[in-house]
Structure 1
Amino acid sequence: MKWSTLCPFSCLPQLLTIHISYLLQVWVLHFKQLHDWWLLGYKHEQKQKIHNFLKVIVDKMSLKWLSLLLLLQLTCYFSSGRCGKVLVWPMEYSHWINMKIILEELVSRGHEVTVLTSPAAVVVDVNKSSTIKFEIFPASITKDDFENFFQQLLTEWIQGAKDSFWTKITTAQNIFSGLSDVSLKLCKDAILNKKFMTKLQESRFDVVLADPVIPCGELVAEILNIPLVYSLRFSPGYSIEKFGGKLPFPPSYVPVVMSELSDHMTFTERVKNMLYVVFLDFWFQTFNEKKWNQFYSEALGRPTTLFETMGKADMWLIRNYWDFDFPRPLLPNFEFIGGFHCKPAKPLPKVT
C-alpha cells in the first residue's frame, strides 16, 4: 500500500496541529527563559509587576493558539475524508452482479467509480447505470462470440454438477482453459492500447478493484502503480488464493473445494484429499500460466509471473461468511464480506 493513499489530504489538519503545538511549546519555553534572565536586575516589587504583565500576554496568546489548534482538530474529526477514484476490472454474470453492489455503495459514499469494459461485454451494460462511469476499449472479439462462449461454459458446468470429482475437475479444466484464452485476448486489447493506458495514467486513480477469476486487473494496478483489491468467492483447488495470495490450505483438515469432503475426515479421506491437492497443484491449471507469464513479462519489461503479480494485492475480499467455511489459517489482508449484498427486509403489508 502506498503512503500517499494511506495518508490522504484529510489528515493534514492533524499534522498541522502537531507541528503548531510543538512550535508553541518551544516558543513558550524560550520566552520563559528570556523572562527569567531579563528580571535578574530588578527589585522584587518591580519583578512581580513585570511578571504579571508578561503572564497576561502569554496567556492571551496561548488562548489564541489553543483555539486555532482546537479548530484544526475539529475540522479533521468532522471532515468526511477524501473521496477516491476507483478503477474496476470486472468479471461477467454473477460475479458482476456481486461486484456492482460494492460499486454502488462506493458511489453512494462519494467515491468516483470507473469500470473498464469492452464492446464484447455481455452483462456489464454501460447504459444501465447513471452513477458508474465506464471506459470502453476496443476488443478483438465480438459480443456474440463472448456470449456463446459463456453459454457453453455454463451448460457444461451445470450438466457436470452430479458427476464424480475427477469428471468435474476435467470439465473445469476445459472451461478455465477457454476462459483463460478469452481473458488474455481482452487483457492484451487493453494493455497494448497505448492511448487507452495513457488516459488511465492521466486520470490518477487511487485503487484498482478486480475479480481474479479473469486476470488483468493486477497488471493494470502494477502499471499504474496503485493499490489492488480483489473480490473473490473461491477458485478451483484454491489455486488463486494459494499461489497468488499465499494463503495456506493444510490438506490434513482443509478439504479441497468440490471434493464433497468435510473437515472431519477419516484417514482414508485424508489420503484422498491429499491426492486431490497433488493433482490440482501440479496438473490442473486455472490459467495458461506460460502464456500469461510471458505477456506480463513483456508488458512490464522484466521477468515476472501471473501469480507473482497477483501476490501484490493489498486486500482480498472473500464473498462468504468465515463461519460458513472450513476452519483454516488466514492472513491479515483476507477479509470475509459474506452478506454484503443483503438489504434490510421491508415490513410486510398490514392485512385489513
Structure 2
Amino acid sequence: MPGGELFAEKLGIPFVYTFRFSIGNTVERLCGGLPAPPSYVPAILSRQTDSLSFMERLQNIIFYAAMDILYHHALWGEWDQYYSDVLGRPTTLCETMGKAEMWLIRTYWDFEFPRPFLPNFEFVGGLHCQPAKPLPKEMEEFVQSSGEHGIVVFSLGSMVYNLTDEKSNIIAGALSQLPQKVLWRYKGRKPETLGSNTRIYDWIPQNDLLGHPLTKAFITHGGTNGIYEAIYHGVPLVGIPMFADQHDNIAHMRAKGAAVELDFGTLKTHDLVDAVNTVINNSTYKENALRLSRIHHDQPMKPLDRAVFWIEFVMRHKGAKHLRPASHHLTWYQYHCLDVLAFLFTCAAIAVFILVKCCLFCCNKCGRITKKKKE
C-alpha cells in the first residue's frame, strides 16, 4: 500500500495485506478497525511498553491524535482524490484499504505486548525463519576454531553498506577485545583496529549462523527479519537501532529481557564490549531468549502455513466478509458512542434543570408561606 488495493478494487477481486506496521498504528486503527486503547497499547515508534505511566499515556494519546490528523489532512488528501478519480465515485484511500479481507501482521505474541485483536487480523511473524543449514566449509572452520567461547554474529542490515572510519574503528576495536570469534557483515573499508578474532564478509548466512550451537550473541540494528531469526533460534541481542522500526523492535526485546540497547550516535568501544559481555555472561538474557523461542515454536500452525491458509481461505470463499467488524460502517462518533453519550448528557442536564427548577419553586413557595405566617 498504497496502490495494490486500487488494482483489486478495479478488478473486483479480494485482497490480503501483508503488513509490519504503520506509524502510530494509524492504518490498522483507522482503516482496518483494529482497537488500540492508548492506555496500554503503545503507539508504533514510541519506544514504549504496555506499562505506561500517566505522562506516557498522555504522550500516547497526543501521538495517536497527531498521526490521525497528519494522515487525514497531510498525507491522504491527494490519494483520496486520486482514488475517487480512478474509481469514478467518491471514496478515500482509507475506505479502500478497509476492504482488505485479511491483514497478515509480521509479528507474533512472542514479540508483541498483549492487545485487542480482530478475527481478520493474523500474526505471521517469523514466516521466513527455518532450521539452520550447514555453513560453507571455510566459515564452519572459523566458527569451530572459537572453541568454548563460541561466536558473535554482527550485522547492521542490508541498507547499511558503509560506516565512517571513526565509527568502524570504534566497533572493530571493541570486537577485538572479545574472547569470541566474530563474523561481521560489512562492505566498507577494512578498519585499522580489526582484530584477528573478527572476519568481515560481504554477505553472511544469517539464519544459519544464528542457528549454530556455538552462537552466543547477535549484534543487530533491530530489523524485523533479524529479530525473528534471533527469536526463532533463541539468541540474545545487542541492539544498535538506527531508523524506522528498529528502535521500537529493540525496545520490545529489551522489555522482554532478551536484549541490551546501545545508542549508535554516542557509541564507544567500552559500551559495545560491556554490552556483548553482559548478554553472554548474564544467563538471564539467554534464558529469556530461549523462553521467547519456545513461545514462538509452540503454535498450532507454523507462521508460513498460517499465512498460506488464510490466503487460500480468501480465495476459496471469495473473501472473508464474515470476519470484518461492523466498525467499518460506523462514523467516528458512533464508533466512540459519542452520540449516545451526548444523548445521556442531554437527558441528565434536562433532569438536573427540572430538579433545580422544582427545588427553587418549592423553596419560594415555602418562603411565601412562612412569611404569611409571620405576618
State the TM bucket, normalised to the shorter chain: 0.3 to 0.5
Question: Normalized against structure 1, the TM-score is what?
Answer: 0.37
Quick one: higher RCO (CA 8 Å, sep 6+), 1 or 2?
Answer: 2
What is the TM-score normalised by the length of structure 2? 0.35
